[in-house]
Amino acid sequence: MALGILTRSERFNLMAVPRRVLPPIFSFYNEGQHYGSHVDRALIGPYPGIRSDLSITVFLAEPETYDGGELVIESEFGEKSYKLPAGDAVLYPTHYLHRVAPVRRGQRLAIVTWIESMVRDPERRRILVELAELMGWMMQTNADPKALKKLEKNRLNLLRMWADA
């Protein structure tokens, strides 16, 4: 059910361009538990597995029901902590160092899974997302239809060039 909801999300599909998504696992952390800083495996799942391009954490517990338990992601821009409302998710490149901070009270509940993207390069995925966002903004401002068609044509042609289907 969780996988179905995830793969029907327009935003998820735009950002991940998923080729394959592993069945999610449920993650429970009780008081005192944590997960140290790590990078997820490059290949995950039963043989032959998938290339893990992206990781996603979907929060299941409301933030006020537990203390600590933040997802902490380290990137070239520094550290960022996430503790989101139930149902919200963080999608991030699997090659980033990340950890779960110690839970000090209550129970942290989440769903975690990994995605193999049809667009392997994170920079190319970022460009495709930004072009789609630009189209959305232009549509809201009643931009020239010719400009919108040209932008969408080029976004789709880049996707065609970069995707491994």
Domain 122-162 in the same topology as domain 2-117: no
Whether 10 has a pLDDT exceeding 80, the answer reads yes
Q: Are 54 and 91 in contact (CB under 8 A)?
A: yes
Q: Please state, for a pLDDT cut of 70, what percent of the chain lies above it.
A: 99
In angstroms, the CA 161 to CA 28 distance is 40
- Distance of alpha carbon 108 from its chain centroid, rounded? 19
pLDDT number for residue 84: 97
- What does the pLDDT look like over 85-141, one tens digit per residue? 999 999 999 999 999 999 999 999 999 999 999 999 999 999 999 999 999 999 999
Domain 2-117 class? Answer: mainly beta
Per-residue DSSP letter, 40: -
Q: What average pLDDT score do residues 138-159 get?
A: 94
Higher pLDDT, 2 or 55: 55
Residue 46's SS3 state is: coil
Q: Please report the pLDDT score of residue 45 as a whole number.
A: 82
Question: What per-residue confidence (pLDDT) applies to 1?
Answer: 67
What does pTM read for this prediction? 0.88
What pLDDT score does 8 carry? 83
Architecture per CATH, domain 122-162, reads as: Irregular (4.10)
For the chain, the domains span 2-117, 122-162
Extended strands (E) in the chain: 18-21, 25-29, 35-38, 43-44, 50-51, 54-59, 67-68, 71-75, 78-82, 89-93, 97-100, 103-105, 108-117
Query: What is the average pLDDT score of the chain?
Result: 94
